[in-house]
Structure 1
Amino acid sequence: MAASEDSFKEKLTNSLTQQLSEYELLKSMYPNNDDIILTDTNILVDITNFVENESETEYTPGHLDFILNLNIDGSKLEVSVNLPSFYPSEEPDLYVRCNQLNRYQETTLNAELSNFLKENFVGEVCIYSAVSWLQDNLPKFTEQLANRASAYIIPESKCTDDDKFVRLWIYSHHIYNKRKRDEIESKAKDLNLTGFCLPGKPGIICVEGAGSDCKEWWSIIKSMSWKKIVIKMTETFEISEKEKEQKFHKFQEIHFPSSSVRSKHADMSGLSKYMDEHGLTEIFKNMFGISEI
C-alpha cells in the first residue's frame, strides 16, 4: 500500500513540477498582470508546497486553472486553460474565445486546435505550442472562414427530428473548465433551452427544447476539446406535449450544499435527489445502470 502511495505521489510530483515550469515560461513571456489570470490565486503556493514536500497533510492540490489573454494581429483571444493533475500525461482542457469570430468560426478554431494537440503532443507539455499554433492559424479564421461560417453546422444523427420536443442527457468524463461551463450555459440560454449542468467528474448535462435548437447546441458543445463527451440518452416527444413533459423552466449550473469545496468529483447523491424532485427517478437509474433489487 505504502509503495503504491509513493508511486502515486512521485508521478503527481513529476506532473506538477512540469506544470509549474511551463507556467513560469508563460509568465516570462506574458508578464503583465492581466495577461495571465489564475482562477485560484493560492493554487501556485499549494502546488509548490506539495512538490517541495512541505505539506504535512494528505491534501492533494487542485488543478492549475487560468485564463491567458492574447492579442494576435489585433484580435483579442481569451484562452481558458485547465490542467488535470497528471498533465502532461493527461490531455489539457483548453477553450479559446475570440470576440472577432462568430459562433461557427470559434467552434471550428477550437476543434482544429484540439486535433493539432492530440496528433502532435500526447504526453508532452503543449500550452506554449497551442499559443504558437493560434498565432500561425488565427488569420485563416478571421479572413478565410467568413464565407463558410453560415454553412458550418455539424450533422448529428443521434439528435431527433427538428419538429419534436427533445431532452438530451449528456455524459462527459469531466467538466472543470470555467469557460466551457459558461459556454454550455450561455449557448443553452441563447437557444431557449432548459435543463442543467453538473460540473465535476463525471460531468452531467441535460438540455431540453425544440429538436433543431438541441441539435445546434450539441454541434457547438461537442466540438470543444473533450476527453470524452457523449449523448447517453435521448427522450423525444411530440411538440404538443411540451407543456406536460418539460421538466425544467430555465438552464442553470447546479451544485449541492453537501459537496466538499475541494472535491473535483460530481455529487451523485445530490444529483439523484435533484432528479427525484423533478420526476426523473427512472431516468437517473437508466443512465447509471441502477436496477431495483
Structure 2
Amino acid sequence: MEHAEAQLAEVELLLSMFPSQEELEVEPVAYAELRCFVEGTSECPPNTRPELCVKIQTHTGVEVSLSCTYPSQYPAVLPEIVVRCGELSRAQHACLVSDLRLYLCESCSGEVCVLSAIDWIRDHTSEYLVGGEDFDRGARGEEHPSAEIFTRLWIYSHHIYNKSKRKNILEWAKELQLSGFCMPGKPGVMCVEGPQAACEEFWSRVKVLTWKRIMIRHREDVPLDPANQSADLPRCFDGFEEAAFDPHGNRGNHMDLGQLFHYLSERGCAQIFQLYFGVEGR
C-alpha cells in the first residue's frame, strides 16, 4: 500500500503539471486500478502496472520522449525507463540513458523519481548532441571516468515453451557475457546480470519476441566504484544456464517451485521468490 500511495501521488502530480494529453499520456486502466486500490474501493492490488509517457522539450528546443513503467515495488526500485530522441545517435543515446540511470541511482534511491528524470533530461540532453557516432564521455570534457552500473533483471513470462526462444535466450546471454538462468515452462522465469548496457541489450531483444505476457518484475542497479573498474562484478550466478526443477504436468511444463526457491536461496536471492509469486518461499 505504501508503494501504491507513492505511485498514485506522483502520477497525480504529473497530471497536474502536464494537463494536456499531448504532453503526458497515462495508461488509463492501470491508473484507475491504482486509484481504486489506494482509495479502498478495491482490495486487490493493481493487475496492470502503471505506465506513462512524457513529451519533454529541452531548453534548446530538442524534443525528447520519456516512457516509464512502474514495478510493483517502485519507488523502492527504479522504474523501467525508455528515452526516445530522434536527434541523438545510437552512441549518444546509450550514454545519456546510462548517465540518467546513474543519476537516479545516486540521487533518488527509495524515492519517486520521474519528475527528477524529466528535469535531468531537460537540463542535460544538449550535452550529448556533439560528436556524432564518435561521441564519448571525453567529448563532454570529463576529467574522471563515470561509475559503471551493474544491473540484474528479474524477468517474468506467462510461459516459455518455444525451443527457438529458449535457444535465443541462451545464445544472447552468452554472447553478451551475462550470467543468470532461464526456467522454461509455465510460468517462465529469467534472470540476467552484468553490465547495464549488456542487460539492456538482452531485454531489448527478448521483449520483441512474441509473448502472451512478459515483464521485468524486479530490477537491481548498483553503481560501481569508478576508481576500481577492474574489480569483479557482484554476481549471484556463475555463467548462464537453463534450469529445470522436476518438470511435471500433462505436458511436463510445470516446475517444482520449492526447488526454485532452494535454487534462489543458495545464491542469496530468496527474497525474489515473493516478488515473483506473491507468497513466501519454502
Q: Is the 8 A contact 1:80 1:96 kept in 2?
A: yes
Deviation at 1:175, TM superposition (A): 7.4
Q: Is the 8 A contact 1:109 1:141 kept in 2?
A: yes
Aligned counterpart, 1:114: 101
5+ residue gaps in structure 2?
A: 139-151, 158-163, 178-194, 218-239, 249-282
Aligned counterpart, 2:30: 43
Cα gap change, 1:225 to 1:113, in 2 (>3 Å): farther
The residue type equivalent to 1:22 in the other structure is E
Q: Determine the C-alpha separation between the residues in 2 that align with 1:24 and 1:292.
A: 45
Aligned counterpart, 2:209: 253
5+ residue gaps in structure 1?
A: 1-12, 153-170, 177-194, 198-203, 216-220, 232-250, 267-284
Aligned counterpart, 1:173: 154
The residue type equivalent to 2:37 in the other structure is F
Q: Is the 8 A contact 2:92 2:133 kept in 1?
A: no
User: Is the partner of 1:174 in helix, strand or coil?
Assistant: strand
Deviation at 1:149, TM superposition (A): 2.6
Deviation at 1:118, TM superposition (A): 0.5
Deviations 1:67-92 (A, max 9, x none): 11111122111111011112111221
Check if 1:82 corresponds to 2:62: no
Aligned counterpart, 1:15: 3
Q: Determine the C-alpha separation between the residues in 1 that align with 2:122 and 2:110.
A: 23
Deviations 1:185-236 (A, max 9, x none): xxxxxxxxxx759xxxxxx94667xx8xx79xxxxx942886xx989xxxxx
Aligned length: 186
Cα gap change, 1:42 to 1:107, in 2 (>3 Å): same
Deviations 1:134-171 (A, max 9, x none): 112111111x343733899xxxxxxxxxxxxxxxxxx8
Q: Is the 8 A contact 2:153 2:216 kept in 1?
A: no
The percent of aligned pairs where both chains have the same amino acid is 22
Q: Is the 8 A contact 2:30 2:48 kept in 1?
A: yes
1:235-250 equivalences in 2 (<5 Å): none
Deviation at 1:21, TM superposition (A): 1.2
Check if 1:149 corresponds to 2:135: yes
Aligned counterpart, 2:147: none
Q: Determine the C-alpha separation between the residues in 1 that align with 2:156 and 2:246.
A: 26
Q: Determine the C-alpha separation between the residues in 1 that align with 2:242 and 2:87.
A: 39
Cα gap change, 1:105 to 1:17, in 2 (>3 Å): same
Q: Determine the C-alpha separation between the residues in 2 that align with 1:206 and 1:102.
A: 29
Runs (4+) of structure 1 moved beyond 6 Å? none
Aligned counterpart, 1:288: 243
Q: Is the 8 A contact 2:70 2:79 kept in 1?
A: yes
Q: Is the 8 A contact 1:70 1:78 kept in 2?
A: yes
Deviations 1:90-128 (A, max 9, x none): 221112110010111111100000001011111011111
Q: Determine the C-alpha separation between the residues in 1 that align with 2:198 and 2:7.
A: 22
Q: Is the 8 A contact 2:54 2:67 kept in 1?
A: yes
Provide the TM-score with structure 2 as the length reference: 0.54
Cα gap change, 1:122 to 1:291, in 2 (>3 Å): same
Check if 1:33 corresponds to 2:21: yes
Deviation at 1:20, TM superposition (A): 1.3
**Of the candidates 73, 81, 99, which is equivalent to residue 94 of structure 1?**
81
Check if 1:127 corresponds to 2:114: yes
Q: Is the 8 A contact 1:93 1:225 kept in 2?
A: no
Cα gap change, 1:45 to 1:69, in 2 (>3 Å): same
1:208-223 equivalences in 2 (<5 Å): 222-223=196-197
Cα gap change, 1:53 to 1:264, in 2 (>3 Å): farther
